[in-house]
Chain A
Amino acid sequence: MEMYTEILVSFFLVVAGIFGLVGSFGMLKLTDTMQRLHAPTKATTLGVGGVLIASMLYFGLGKAQVSFHELLITIFLFLTAPVTANFIAKTYMARNIKPEELPASEREYGWAVYDDPPGRAEEDFHERERKGRN
């Protein structure tokens, strides 16, 4: 294997390791749950991205067998990380934060975690009407 390939792969591996360690250490170090949400969802995802780039370079440049599996994993992880972070934040809000502590949504409807979606109340009413008639 050529020298510059080795340097490139090693660089990406070391960067990925540092990012992964920082992400997991942040979850240990930060004090509040909402603060703790930041470290793993951003830094660790970037760490895995670094590992996958290193793997692509290693198999593509070093062994001359280009594969796109890594790209698939990277895209999947980068798409799902914000979704999971949003879900975990919602879980925390529903269990620990009262609706009075939040600022007003300044819309016709309240925040999504606490109030029904628009139109849901009327739907429930119509359904109850239908059931009552039967």
Chain B
Amino acid sequence: MDDMIIKKDKLPKWSSELSDYKIFAPHREDDVVIFKEMKNVNKVVLHYANSVMPPKEIFFPQTQELFKYEKSPEMKVSEAELPLEKVLLFGVRPCDARSFLIMDKLFYWDYEDHLYKQARDNTVIIGLTCTSPHHNCFCTSVGGKPYSNEGLDVLMTDLGDRYYVEVLTEKGEDVIRKPDELFSKPTDKDRKERGEIWEKAESEVTKNVEVEGVHDKLGELFESKYWDEKSRTCVGCGICSFLCPTCHCFDITDEDCGNCGRRIRTWDTCMIPEYTVHASGYNPRPGKKNRLKNRVFHKFRYFPDRFDAIACVGCGRCISKCPVGIDIVETLEEVKEVEEVEE
């Protein structure tokens, strides 16, 4: 499908045309930008570097029911309902969109997670080019671009009073083919403008790290003292993994309330001791160093080994929000420099 242009003031009209979709868009709530179901188009914010929470929870909710059970009079088990509603995810940054492809690798791996897949299949993702990257963004170092269209159905670029709309998939066509009078054909000037904006955005991603070689170097550093040093100030909270668009670990627990209950899947984080503790009480990752190391290893060694992709999209959230200023880019740089290979 050809590219399109939509005027910004036509957005409310367009969104009202899409009433068969449940629309999720970035909202501002007390200074935090999060993706929420859009009830009022005026509450949507599009001027932000990136949302505090990545939109991964649309496909992989923080709390997801797997099944319910009831004991009376006989045992009744009912599986969780499939998320059948059509969803439109609006305003996703290209880095977050790439994260969906990374999560796909895991959730479609040896077992195809039907809840995740259903949500993925039902969702149309409209991306928004990143025009003013945050100073902690480093997407270009891990294969992304502020205007990357990987994982997206539609990519829009802000051209001031209008958006340049690039339709990438059939799913995307479904939402764009709606009333024609909303969309017009782009001119050469629009194309040129878009090119300039893309270029400018890319040049503004200043933080970078050469990830080539990190994978192999990590292999030598499993026993390194470096991790003791690095993890000394880590407080062991879950911010880095809960805010990470590619972190996908979960825990499965039962919520029991007498004669009924449910089994739920909830986000988990490898940064807390409870993540690995065995029923016996033994913990194979007893210290902060083991846990911090695991997170870096998982992203830059284990995941690439298994799926041939780095599990990091360079969104910079973990850097911005770490309470003690642990910086993954700095960590990678240091990893490359570490000299000693422990005895």
The answer on A and B forming one complex is: no
